[in-house]
Chains A and B, each alone.
Chain A
């Protein structure tokens, strides 16, 4: 019976482990992994071809549950954001190494240096600008409410007291909270919110309008109500560890907008609807949502 002796050992082991974890994590951010993450073979086809051998590689993270900006069809990452970042990289003489992760993991991954750049229809917000750098805005979006055509909900004001679904940690959550709506179900992916909508798990979904429209187009028993609720702008998030990358990406973005490829992507993904088109050189500071006040 050496219980006491044993419990000291347990404590010691726990302490050692915690200390280990602490040191391990701090040193990790110092040297970002150079492509040690296993790359999906399917994504290889999406990478921009290096136009010269000295081109440096940027590690790009995307969240592929955001059609038409990003989605994964048949194991292939595709969408507006993907085509855009590849085009920008080509103009800026960079090579893209693409990986996918959940939306809530994007900014922590940028902070830890696991990736350099994230494209995921990320709304430029003040709180996010404290954590990462943003490129100039590339798409003007907004939030909207989608619901069943049979529902009594006609606008966001009808949502009080009803269950509303959205995606975890997005700007939609901020808007719902500011409207005093507390019954928010935050899912990891917007697909889960839509399937909850389809099965009656939520009364409505509040999310980025282009994605809502995309869903309503393929699911005729749903419709978008109440129009655009906010004006918000998407930017490319860039790690603060790589400040030089912000200028390179911005220059690439300008060249991409100049070349007409920008317009082509609107034709390809939005049927020529250019409502989301943004003026060249729209700085993140000028369009950031102020979400810092509580």
Chain B
């Protein structure tokens, strides 16, 4: 059987795995953005305590490998806590995967958002406060909208990384794209064709993401500013 047919035969199964990869990517991007925004605002708040919490969070999740975090949460934690009983053994690995990915990517997004906010000229904040805006209003109406545009390129970078990082779910037995590829190779041993197809499918998804980001940047006319 030639390479084309090997790949075509495996394609339905691979697309199924790709579906799971895309689901996890979208879920993680949403959760991580929420976590990242909260942690960034904590980091910039006036409260020592909140700043400390955020700092510890970022240091821990940026300072340990994602694969270790995932294995620890999915396989390590349930040995001391009855997590599989609480959530059910089918659901818990998905929760573990989503939490692990979201917290890890969230740590990087925290820094991106923090940098974006700090990059807005102080004069903007001072002007907003001089016309009587509260700190909350200043942040939501003045600083964040401007900061968001600047954050798009690094965020897209991070989102592309997130999509690739979902491949680290394969060792904890989540059936995503790489896992599906490994299963197929274990049956047909066509490592070149199948892993090539797996790599290509990741490329396609990330290409779609980056093209969307380009469109977004053009709409917001970032380079005109």
Q: Do A and B bind each other?
A: yes
List A residues at the B interface (Cβ < 8 Å).
Answer: 1, 3, 14, 21, 25, 104, 107-108, 111-112, 127-128, 130-131, 163, 165, 168-170, 173, 183, 185-188, 192, 195-196, 198-203
Q: Are A104 and B186 neighbours in the complex by a CB distance under 8 Å?
A: yes
**A residues within 8 A CB of B170?**
188
Q: Are A203 and B186 neighbours in the complex by a CB distance under 8 Å?
A: no
Q: How far is the CA of A25 from the CA of B199 in the complex (A)?
A: 14
Q: Are B191 and A203 neighbours in the complex by a CB distance under 8 Å?
A: no
Residues of B65-107 whose CB lies within 8 A of A:
71, 75, 78-79, 82-85, 89-90, 92-93
Known: A111-B189, A199-B75. Contact between A192 and B173, CB under 8 A? yes
Q: Are A199 and B183 neighbours in the complex by a CB distance under 8 Å?
A: no
A200 is contacted by which of B82, B182, B186, B189 (Cβ under 8 Å)? B82
Q: How far is the CA of A183 from the CA of B90 in the complex (A)?
A: 9
Q: Are A104 and B84 neighbours in the complex by a CB distance under 8 Å?
A: no
B171 to chain A, nearest CB (A): 5
B38 to chain A, nearest CB (A): 30
Q: Are A186 and B171 neighbours in the complex by a CB distance under 8 Å?
A: no
Of chain B, the residue at the smallest CB distance from A169 is B186
Q: How far is the CA of A64 from the CA of B62 in the complex (A)?
A: 30
Q: Are A201 and B92 neighbours in the complex by a CB distance under 8 Å?
A: yes
B84 is contacted by which of A1, A173, A188, A201 (Cβ under 8 Å)? A201
Check: B155 CB closer than 8 A to any chain A CB.
Answer: no
Q: How far is the CA of A98 from the CA of B187 in the complex (A)?
A: 25
Check: B136 CB closer than 8 A to any chain A CB.
Answer: no
**A residues within 8 A CB of B182?**
104, 168-169
Of chain B, the residue at the smallest CB distance from A103 is B186
Interface majority SS (helix, strand, loop, mixed), chain A? mixed
Interface majority SS (helix, strand, loop, mixed), chain B? helix
Of chain A, the residue at the smallest CB distance from B90 is A163
Q: Are B173 and A107 neighbours in the complex by a CB distance under 8 Å?
A: no
Q: How far is the CA of A169 from the CA of B196 in the complex (A)?
A: 19
**B residues within 8 A CB of A201?**
75, 78, 84, 89, 92-93
Count of chain B residues near A, Cβ 8 A: 31
**B residues within 8 A CB of A186?**
173, 179, 183
Of chain B, the residue at the smallest CB distance from A109 is B191
Known: A3-B214, A199-B75. Contact between A108 and B185, CB under 8 A? yes
A178 to chain B, nearest CB (A): 14
Check: B4 CB closer than 8 A to any chain A CB.
Answer: no
Known: A108-B189, A108-B191. Contact between A169 and B183, CB under 8 A? yes
Q: Are A163 and B89 neighbours in the complex by a CB distance under 8 Å?
A: yes
Q: How far is the CA of A168 from the CA of B171 in the complex (A)?
A: 9
Q: How far is the CA of A21 from the CA of B71 in the complex (A)?
A: 31
Q: How far is the CA of A183 from the CA of B91 in the complex (A)?
A: 12
Q: Are B189 and A199 neighbours in the complex by a CB distance under 8 Å?
A: no
**A residues within 8 A CB of B173?**
165, 185-187, 192, 196
Q: Are A168 and B75 neighbours in the complex by a CB distance under 8 Å?
A: no
Residues of B31-46 whose CB lies within 8 A of A:
none
Q: How far is the CA of A202 from the CA of B93 in the complex (A)?
A: 11
